[in-house]
Amino acid sequence: MTRELRFDAVVIGAGTAGLVAGTRMAQQGARVCVLAKGIGSTHLSPATIDVLGYGPSRVDEPGPALEKLVLARHDHPYAQIGRQVVDDALRWFSGVVADGPLPGYGYVGGLERNLRLPTAIGVLRPSAMVPETMAAGDAPGLGRCCIVGTGSLRDFHPALCAANLRRAGIEARSVTIPLEFERADMNALGIARRFDDPTWRARFCAELSPLLGADDHVGLPAALGLRDPHGVRADLEHRLGRQVFEIPSLPPSVPGMRMFEILTSALRADRGRLILGAEVIAVERDEHRVNAVSTHAAGHDARYRADAFVLATGGFASGAIELDSRWVTHERVLGLPLHGVPGPDEPRFVPTYLSEQPIARVGVAVDTELRAQGTENVFVAGAALPGAIPWREGSGEGIALSSGYRVADLIASGSKTPAEAAA
């Protein structure tokens, strides 16, 4: 049996872009449903909002750099979004976080200056806006810092992190504290659950305190609790008498899970729906409009009708854009045309790993209002957009956030196609 449901807008994909688009539309009163095959990119992401980190040399002031990029690369997502919308989206997002379910937790930063935060291997990575729990790691104010790990967390190596920070001119050292867990392997999520427990935190601080010297900052793996990271950081700073900051490492990402929690709470608060485990398996469209999509989910199949659709399914990483064994690309959800695909005889990849790969900028072809080519009511957000190289230029979350925000506003304002406008 197939159920039929009707919404103003259906968003496909529950990464940052999809959740932002859904939340923003729900806040504006639309009936919204976010459908996703599974949890999106949030749990993999360090959850810093990187607007523009490299262009290709390091960007210190993302605002002006963004304006230059908009002029220089017409096919870049930011060229369709513009600096002002990115700025609005950042402010909106920090408001959503502040009103969210994690008490006191916030994001800091903006387009004026990139923060430079240590990665788990000790590179100072530029980000425009970051969780407050990471902000004290910003390089200019870092002073003397001690990077702390525990042998049980195989995903964080404090000595290597500190050694590379020293190479970058930071006064850093490291300690590894021998904490016993019930199993030898812990990931960041397991540690975060411990940090949520005040008794465990007290024990942790008692172990660590005697090992700290002249350090004025303490860097820890990004695992300072899931429920109350603000409180955990404050407690640690109080007990250790030093500024504390989180350093993101391999997935699963605790800050990313917090981001997922914040955005889904906001979506639900305005009666938006989120359905995970609902892969879109069929689409009903006439020449220029998608009218409905069908999903196959536990229990029953369902058909979702909507006036507008947001495609926020990601790029090659999510599988929504596929390169098949004959090296031909496809958009797999709605069968939309792609932009940026190298010609049939041109290379897809180059032999040097740390070079720009020719397929990297492939995405769903869109017009200047992020509308998928050949459609009137399908809008594209996030990594499905063409023209960017998110990891290399440090722009992934910035594009996800601002394009999700932008398409929500375009849909809410009843964006018209040039043909509609003329009529």
Partner 1 sequence: MVTLSTDVLVIGGGATGAGVTWDAALRGLDVILADRHDLAQGTSGRFHGLLHSGGRYAVKDPRAAEECIAENRILRRVAADCIDDTGGLFVTTPSDDPAYADRFIVGCRETGVDCEEISPAQALREEPRVEPRISRAFRVPDASIDVWKTVWALSHGAQQRGARILPYHEAVAIHRDGDEVTGARLRDARSGDEIEVRARVTVNATGAWAGRIADLAGIEGVRVLPGRGIMIAMNHRLVNTVINRCQMPTDGDIIVPIRTVSVIGTTDEHTDDPDDHTVLRDEVDAMLDDGEKLVPGFRQARALRVWTGVRPLFEDAKADETETRDVTRAHALLDHAERDGVRRFITITGGKLTTFRLMAEETVDAVCRNLGESRPCSTHAEPLPGSESGATYRLGERLARKEAKLVDEQIICECELVSRDRLEDTIARTRTCNLDDIRRQLRLGMGPCQGGFCIYRATGILHGLGGLSAAQADAALLDFLQERWKGDWPVLYGDQLRQARLDDWIFQGVLDVEHLPS
DSSP per-residue letters across 290-306: EEEEEEE-SS-EEEEEE
d(C-alpha 231, C-alpha 219), whole Å: 17
- Is there binding between residue 199 and partner 1 (CB under 8 A)? no
* Contact predicate 82/70, CB 8 Å: yes
Q: Which of 5, 163, 212, 276 binds partner 1 (CB under 8 A)?
A: 163
Closest separation between CB of residue 190 and partner 1, Å? 13
User: What one-character DSSP code corresponds to residue 366?
Assistant: B
Based on CB atoms, which residue is closest to partner 1, 9 or 341? 341
| Stretch of 39-47, 132-140, 331-339, 402-410 lying at the interface with partner 1 (CB under 8 A) | 39-47
User: What one-character DSSP code corresponds to residue 328?
Assistant: -
- Is there binding between residue 131 and partner 1 (CB under 8 A)? no
CA distances from 286 to 43, 272, 283, 292 (A): 36, 27, 10, 10
Based on CB atoms, which residue is closest to partner 1, 102 or 153? 153
Helix, strand or coil for residue 146? strand
Q: Enter the tokens of residue 182.
A: 């019930």
User: Which residues from 226-255 bind partner 1, rule CB under 8 A?
Assistant: 248-251
Closest separation between CB of residue 302 and partner 1, Å? 26
Helix, strand or coil for residue 164? helix
Closest separation between CB of residue 223 and partner 1, Å? 14
Q: How far does Cα 344 stand from its chain's mean position?
A: 32
Report angle CA 394, 221, 404 to the nearest 5 degrees.
Answer: 35
**229, amino acid identity:** P
**Number of residues engaging partner 1 in binding (CB under 8 A):** 56
Q: Mask of contacts with partner 1, 336-375, x by CB under 8 A?
A: ------------xxxxxxx--x------------------
Q: Which of 110, 396, 398, 404 binds partner 1 (CB under 8 A)?
A: 396
Based on CB atoms, which residue is closest to partner 1, 85 or 323? 323
- Is there binding between residue 182 and partner 1 (CB under 8 A)? yes
Contacts of 285 (CB under 8 A, 6+ apart): 291, 334, 375
Closest separation between CB of residue 13 and partner 1, Å? 15
User: Which residues from 133-162 bind partner 1, rule CB under 8 A?
Assistant: 152, 154-157, 159-160
Sign of the Cα torsion 335, 336, 340, 342 reads positive
Positions in the binding site for partner 1 (CB under 8 A)? 44-46, 54, 58, 119-125, 152, 154-157, 159-160, 163-164, 166-168, 182-185, 248-251, 315-319, 322-327, 348-354, 357, 390-392, 394, 396
